[in-house]
A and B are shown apart, each in its own frame.
Chain A
Amino acid sequence: MSMLEIKGLQVNYGMIRAIKGIDFHVDEGEVIALIGANGAGKTTILHTITGLVPAKAGSILFEGTELTKVQPHKIVAMGMAHVPEGRRIFQELSVFDNLRLGAFTRKDKAEIAASIEMVYQHFPRLLERKNQIAGTLSGGEQQILAMGRALMSKPRIILMDEPSMGLSPLYVSEIFNIIAEISKMGTTVLLVEQNAKKALSIADRAYVLETGNIVLEGDAKELMQNDDVKKAYLGE
């Protein structure tokens, strides 16, 4: 059984059909890339999985549990974290408080402290800035904070929405290194990206989304050689 299994998913915004019935799955330990142009519906899919947007039809099974009827605040406690598009860290709170909010569903204080230490160890920049107000971090630092905050819930799967958006090339590489590292630590990753080249290079498998439909899927390395993909997403 797949860790995350999506079947016949449809999502509407009023009259607009944003997702038109898609199927895909994510197996434990995989890095899955979901690529597609602006407005294809990538963010909508992630929002529907974590409950911020209701599904019109279809099912989302996470480790055997149907998510479409679960309230969003209960989903993170089930082991699924979401690094949203645009980072959405809490700008007015400190780095430390952002991390603590990431562990909101956990109760054991000692374990939370250990997780914060672990995050600081992986991301020394956050340690240096732990009392800084998050809104004053640079864009790249904010993205790292958003990732650290997601790790604080000890997720088994992380959904990431365009983590490299708006970052300088140096930071883009760093973000992709972090994603690879998160995957190595044993966390499953569902990665939405505009930077198809980078995403395909670290992914196991990938899905290509066009205006609400999945039009291509397969092994990430093979998709990189696909002519349509090359033309549309790799700029070759």
Chain B
Amino acid sequence: MQMLISTLIDGLNLGSVYALVALGYSMVYGIAKMLNFAHGDVIMVGIYSIFVCLNMNSLPVPVTMLICVAVCAVLGFTVEKLAYKPLRGSPSLSVLITAIGVSYLLQNLALLFFKSERRFLQNFLQLGSIQIGSFELPVISLVIWGTTLVIMIVLNLLIKYTSMGRAMLAVSEDKGAAQLMGVNVNRTISITFVIGSALAGVAAILYAAKYQNVDPYTGSVFGIKAFAAAVFGGIGSIPGAMIGGLSLGLIEALTIGFLPESLSAVSDGIAYALLVLMLILKPSGLLGKKKVEKV
């Protein structure tokens, strides 16, 4: 029982972080219609920024966290401006290849500055745990769940009830018609990248708090799994990203927790197996909608 509960908690932790990252993929895909392959690597850069602030400069934790989110947001903005914006209107394959290029570029920059070895953070956000009956609940889990929940709610309100949110929905459906309404499409796409990347920054903080380490490939592996979660939930859908992320986290934790040791190595493969299964059964994902066609 204890084992089951702690496995579920682990799964929810992991799943929440997946959900935040999946959200970044999903929003950018929904609005710019591109797969930002470098999204995962933004997380890696975020964790290195924590490493630099904390280990190398001993900055206070709250400042470190702010810097991490800011670094990710600025990085997302810059990458969009320099790499993707010039390709607006190009075939999606060119954009995808550029995104893969950006991903390698970020990884190689990390290799250059920090070498390939894994770096460990100095007690970043070690919050201890609280006792519930005979059970110990790590405080960081509460922080992870709370943060994810609040972000999901705020994002939903933002999209449903602000004119910027309506602009995003309009651009996601029909860029030309959105322009005819007076929506600045380039600006809307920029804002989407900044929000998605800031969420990657938050994910970086949560990831760092849980695992306390980083190497140049941390982001890409994690990112691909989060992307699988986004597709599983229905890419373009915010609740889909949430459900996809949580499902993947739980399934992964359960396989690691309950499969025999010799099989636990397959847990990484689970994400991809899920992705393939979903693409066969329901290509638009769990909550993805088929387009309403009307002539």
Contacts and interface: CB of A to CB of B under 8 A. Distances in A.
A36 interface: no
A133 to B, nearest CB: 7
A139 B174 CA distance: 18
B295 A84 contact: no
Nearest to B173: A90
A150 to B, nearest CB: 8
B123 interface: no
Contacts of A77: 182
Interface in A184-235: none
Interface in A44-60: 50-52
B208 to A, nearest CB: 37
A183 B205 CA distance: 59
Nearest to B289: A92
B126 interface: no
Interface residues of B, number: 22
A100 interface: yes
Contacts of B176: 52, 84, 88
B163 A88 contact: no
B180 A50 contact: yes
Contacts of B294: 91, 135-136, 139, 142
B183 interface: yes
A153 interface: yes
A200 to B, nearest CB: 26
A88 B292 contact: no
Contacts of B292: 91-92, 133, 135-136
A82 interface: yes
Interface of A: 50-52, 71-74, 76-77, 81-82, 84, 88-93, 97, 100-102, 104-105, 133, 135-136, 139, 142, 149, 153, 166
27 contacts: A51-B179, A52-B176, A72-B179, A72-B180, A73-B179, A73-B183, A73-B184, A76-B180, A76-B181, A76-B182, A77-B182, A88-B174, A89-B177, A90-B170, A90-B173, A91-B294, A92-B173, A92-B289, A92-B292, A97-B166, A97-B169, A100-B163, A100-B166, A101-B167, A104-B183, A105-B182, A149-B181
